[in-house]
Amino acid sequence: MEIVVIISKQDKAGMNIASCLDEKRIEYVLRDEKSYNCENIDKEINADMFIFATKHESQAKVNSLSVHAPGNFGKAELGGRDRELCVAPAGYLKKALIELEKRKLGGFEVVQEVTHHGPYLEKPCMFIEIGSNEDAWLNKEAGKVIAEVIGVLLNWKGEEFRTAIGIGGLHHTPNFKKIILDGSIAIGHVCAKYNLKDLDEEMLKQMIERNSKKADLVILDWKGLGTEKEKIKKLVESFDLEIKRTKEIKN
């Protein structure tokens, strides 16, 4: 498995991570453009998978170490293409979350976020991030943790996990995190409650199929579906997949 790490010169957290990767003699590719604008980089660089090491921004300014798959359920406002998801490496997302949790820093949350923003690639790709303010982006210990986890991912031989998708809930997926950490299920794409308006048959099909291994389980954050419960229930039942609510998952 040839994995390439991508870092933007414009990204303060990315450059912090880069200096920590240098200390470990781990190679990466520097880009002039922002990471979410690295469209079709898989056509320029020959690799099996791409890891984007970046900053995370949020209005809450919560310190976090996070991972997620890229893609847009609706309009592409930060790179990528309208209504196009990338291929989510669910097993690597799970492994990264586990390794981040092992190295959890005081004052930092460890999170697998929902699917969001660009770029658009056809090869499997993921983001690993430091959030969500300048102090955190420049935090050397946070940079070291991300660099260590990247090192683990680059040398990981993979494991057999059941691939699932998640629907509903908050951006930082608290109700999916325990499932990912505690059992044999890896979750690739997650559609947040705020994106349910854009989730239709085509986007659900992408969520299922655009994983390194096709998903065969849909996990619903039932309370996190809000007023869309019946619409989403009917939609997922039209696919021949097992459906469970988060509270029904027994690890």
DSSP codes of every residue in 55-83 = EEE-TT---EEEEE--EESS--SSSS-TT
Task: Please check the confidence at residue 202 and state whether its pLDDT lies above 90.
Answer: yes
- Alpha carbons 51 and 124: distance in angstroms, whole number: 9
144-170 residue pLDDT tens: 999 999 999 999 998 999 999 999 999
Task: Please check the confidence at residue 237 and state whether its pLDDT lies above 70.
Answer: yes
Cβ proximity of 113 and 194 under 8 Å: no
Q: How many residues does the chain have?
A: 251
pTM for the predicted model, two decimal places: 0.97
Q: Please calculate the CA angle 47-51-55 and round it to the nearest 5 degrees.
A: 150
Distances (CA, A) of 60 to 56, 98, 111, 171: 11, 24, 14, 12
Task: Please check the confidence at residue 251 and state whether its pLDDT lies above 70.
Answer: no
Ordered by where they begin, the domains of the chain are: 3-155 (3.40.630.50), 162-248 (3.40.50.10700)
63-86 residue pLDDT tens: 999 999 999 999 999 999 999 999
Low-confidence winner among 156-160, 188-192, 206-210, 213-217 (lowest mean pLDDT): 156-160
Task: Please check the confidence at residue 250 and state whether its pLDDT lies above 90.
Answer: no
